[in-house]
Amino acid sequence: MTGNTTVPNAAASGTFELGGDLPVTRLGYGTMQLTGPGIWGEPADRDAAIRVLRHAAELGVTFFDTADSYGPVVAEPLLREALHPYSDDIVIATKAGLTRSGPHDWRPVGRPEYLRQQALLSLRHLGVECIDLFQLHRVDPQVPLADQIGELKLLQEEGVIRHIGMSEVTADQLEEAAKTAQIVSVQNLYNLADRSAEPVLEYAERNGLAFIPWFPLATGKLVKSGGPLAAIAEEHGASPSQLALAWLLRRSPAILPIPGTSSVEHLEDNVAAADVDLSDADVEALTRAVAE
Catalytic residues: 70
Rounded to 5 degrees, φ, ψ at 35 are -85, -175
Give the sign of the dihedral formed by CA 160, CA 260, CA 190, CA 28: positive
Q: In a 10 Å sphere around its CB, with 0-12 CB exposed, 13-18 middle and 19+ buried, how is residue 280 labelled?
A: exposed
The pairing of strands 161-167 and 210-214 is unpaired
Query: What is the separation, in whole angstroms, between the first and last Cα of the chain?
Result: 23
Cis, bond preceding 85 (omega within 30 deg of 0): yes
Residue 149: CB atoms within 10 A of its CB come to: 25
Answer yes or no: are the C-beta atoms of 96 and 122 closer than 8 Å.
Answer: yes
Tell me, what amino acid is at 63? F
Question: What is the C-alpha separation between 290 and 275, in angstroms, rounded?
Answer: 22
Answer yes or no: are the C-beta atoms of 217 and 27 closer than 8 Å.
Answer: no
Answer yes or no: are the C-beta atoms of 204 and 253 closer than 8 Å.
Answer: no
Q: What residues pair up with 167 in beta bridges, in sequence order?
A: 187
At a CB cut-off of 8 Å and minimum separation 6, what does 236 contact? 1, 2, 3, 243, 276, 282
Question: What is the C-alpha separation between 161 and 119, in angstroms, rounded?
Answer: 8
Answer yes or no: are the C-beta atoms of 133 and 165 closer than 8 Å.
Answer: yes
